[in-house]
Structure 1
Amino acid sequence: MQTDFDGRFWLNVDGRAFAGSGRITLLEQVHASGSISAAARAMGMSYKAAWDAIDAMNNLADQPLVVRQAGGQRGGGTVLTDYGQRVISHYRAAQREHRRFMNRLDAKLAQLGLKNAPDGWNLMRRLAMRTSARNQFQGTVVGFSEGAVNDVVTVDIGNGMEISTVLTHETARLLDLLHTGREVQVLIKASFVILCEEAGNVRYSARNRLCGRVSRIQRGAINAEVVLELAAGRTLTAIVTTDALDEGWLHEGARACALVKAPHVVLAVPD
């Protein structure tokens, strides 16, 4: 299997995502059609999602990129401003330069014999993702259940461990999550993890339950960080109160289970 070195080109403003290829294409569609609804249809996205993306860009930009225009025989429409056109032009020029750089880098990797080493590059790609969530797992979608408003997506993170999440149907469709085999990143904040004693007769409302051994505890003045070692060297970190530690059952070497509600699980996918 051959590995091609690739990269996604994004513009950030004040550390926040401003525009990538998808958003720039949306702006181009708005300019071509003069309509948000037409641009959204061309992009295969909802009217709301299109406006959300444009609002995000308008909020971060020095000037509006897209404005509503009232009046006219057709009742007005949506107009890409001159500033918006300049943003498109500058982005596409920078993107072409970025593509030339990536092509040179890809050719260099071929010279070094690294084109056929996918495991190493896959690992580098995963490590390159930065997020505030302490717990991150690589996995693949193994099941899903569609509802009128929300969907349930189940991800296999390896060694028989599965994690389910609940998200809106629109989000699941836009992220292309409703098919098995989709590669995703699972993100869980440590503060969303609840620890309990491992017992077979315990009932709980949380959809996700992962059990393991407490491998490390970092105690603070009020809270403590507890690391639960799962199968195959994976770990899950939780934040608990020091009062919970003082109860005595939660200590290094103890068996424990992590409970995570499905709405607290976030999925991330490549752009």
Structure 2
Amino acid sequence: MQLSKTRKDFKMISARNHFHGNVKEIRKGAVNGIVKLETPGGNTVSSTISMEAIEDLKLAEGKKACIFVKATEVMLANENLKISARNQWKGTVKEIQEGAVNAIVKLEIEEGVTITSTISLEAVKDLGLTVGAKAVAIVKSTSVMLGEE
């Protein structure tokens, strides 16, 4: 599984971050389940979704699936944190587009694979983010949407 390098694979979606890969594990609960996908580069992505969605998508170990994450759901840090957010990917800042209040930060987490985060300019400055800096993208598993590939 890996992030799309372009959004051309999907006709109508606003989420900037698209992961493709194979279901590695499914932990089923009474109402929700945790689905883990693995990227070709070895990154694991956890998604907490309803059991109904798991059944509707016919998810099973080894099946190909897509993950979608809005850029506004991607937090950035200077290092891995001991927090409840399951998805943490180390990378290098490749681009920062500054706006009046927010910035779009692109972090390369695998060769040729980036994850995009929309954060405040204040956060960019507080974290000392610059092109070439190391950072960690963090996403709660409840913010990860799944789809069929």
Q: TM-score, normalised by structure 1?
A: 0.51
Q: TM-score, normalised by structure 2?
A: 0.90
CA distance in 2, matches of 1:197, 1:224: 16
**Alignment partner for residue 136 of structure 2, among 254, 257, 267?**
257
Structure 1 residue 212 and structure 2 residue 91: aligned? yes
CA distance in 2, matches of 1:161, 1:144: 16
Identical aligned residues as a percent: 36
Task: Let me know the Cα RMSD of the aligned residues.
Answer: 1.6
Hey, what does 2:126 align to over in structure 1? Answer: 247
Q: Residue 245 of structure 1: SS of its match in structure 2? A: helix
Which of the two has greater helix per residue? 1
Which sections of structure 2, spanning at least 5 residues, go unmatched?
A: none
Which of the two has greater strand per residue? 2
CA distance in 2, matches of 1:265, 1:142: 16
CA distance in 2, matches of 1:127, 1:141: 23
1:146-157 map, 5 Å: 146-157=28-39
CA distance in 2, matches of 1:222, 1:190: 15
Higher relative contact order (CA 8 A, sep 6+): 2
* Aligned-pair CA distance for 1:232: 2.4
Which sections of structure 1, spanning at least 5 residues, go unmatched?
A: 1-122
Q: What count of residue pairs does the alignment treat as equivalent?
A: 143
CA distance in 1, matches of 2:25, 2:125: 40
* Aligned-pair CA distance for 1:247: 2.1
Largest Rg, 1 or 2: 1
Hey, what does 1:176 align to over in structure 2? Answer: 58
Hey, what does 1:53 align to over in structure 2? Answer: none
Q: Residue 111 of structure 2: SS of its match in structure 1? A: helix
Structure 1 residue 132 and structure 2 residue 14: aligned? yes
Query: Which runs of 4 or more aligned residues in structure 1 lie more than 4 Å from their structure 2 counterparts after TM superposition?
Result: none
Amino acid at match of 2:108: E
